[in-house]
Amino acid sequence: MAILKDEIRGSFTGGRTLPKISTQLDSVRSYQFECRFSLPQGNGTVVTTQLTTAAKQVGPIGGATDDIVVDRLNDKVFYPGKFTPEPVTITFDNQLLTRSSPALWEWFTTTYNPMTGDGPQNTRIGGFKALKLEIMELNTDSEPVSYIGLYGVFPTGIKFSEKNYATNEFATIEVTFRYDFLDYQKSTVNGFTSNAFDAVRSLGR
């Protein structure tokens, strides 16, 4: 504890400088982010759709590696198995100008159309999956500092918010997404450590 105290207080002079803890332990804010979808279109082109202002909340992103258990006499030994990504839920504002809700609903109907009973539709290039979903973490200057990339994304669930005359909030639409691959990159002075924004990973279709 004395080492930590000396490190923090060593260069601190009251009224002249700030302690190290107040200048070097800043963190990424959970409310500073942007979302971008790269959606395949029916005309054979890929369009990056900006849903930055529409996406108001992104749930936890991640997964876990399954265990492979090897039994040997009285011992159990563990090895890493397959990685299973967990679904992510994103809440969108139902904006009038961007018409985010109709676009999300149209996308959902390519996985299951409740009006016709049809299952996954391959009416778009690449099928019902989006090429990627980019979630950028920003600093206080709105510059990207890290990047979460989801590849092979498609909606599995959709919920419209309640309608209530007594509330004073925007209507929202909550969509649950599945994805095949997960990537995370930290930024450097010259950009990201790899071509995270431009790379298109093969989805093995």
Q: Any idea where the domains of the chain sit in the sequence?
A: 29-63+78-192
pLDDT over 80 at 157, yes or no: yes
Which pair of tokens denotes residue 105?
A: 């609903």
**Which pLDDT score, from 0 to 100, does residue 13 have?**
67
The strand pairing partners of 92, in sequence order, are: 55, 173
The strand pairing partners of 72, in sequence order, are: 75
pLDDT over 60 at 199, yes or no: no
**Which pLDDT score, from 0 to 100, does residue 86 have?**
95
The strand pairing partners of 141, in sequence order, are: none
DSSP letter for each residue of 135-199: EEEE-TTS-EEEEEEEEEEEEEEEEEPP--TT--S--EEEEEEE-SEEEEEEEETTEESS-TTT-
pLDDT over 70 at 74, yes or no: yes
**Which pLDDT score, from 0 to 100, does residue 159 have?**
93
pLDDT over 90 at 166, yes or no: yes
Which pair of tokens denotes residue 32?
A: 């500073």
* Rounded Cα gap, residues 16 and 189, in angstroms: 30
Which pair of tokens denotes residue 44?
A: 């054979």
**Which pLDDT score, from 0 to 100, does residue 83 have?**
93
**Which pLDDT score, from 0 to 100, does residue 78 have?**
95
Is the distance from CB of 50 to CB of 38 less than 8 angstroms? no
Q: Which of left, alpha, beta for 191 (phi over 0: left; psi -120 to 50: alpha)?
A: left
Which pair of tokens denotes residue 78?
A: 């563990």
149 or 25: which leads in pLDDT: 149
**Taking all residues of the chain, what is their mean pLDDT, rounded to a whole number?**
77
**Which pLDDT score, from 0 to 100, does residue 200 have?**
35
**Which pLDDT score, from 0 to 100, does residue 5 have?**
58
Question: What homologous superfamily is domain 29-63+78-192 in, according to CATH?
Answer: Hcp1-like (2.30.110.20)
Average pLDDT of span 160-176: 92
Average pLDDT of span 69-77: 94
Tell me the pLDDT band of 110, cut-offs 50, 70 and 90.
Answer: confident
- Pick the most confident of 49-53, 71-75, 100-104: 71-75
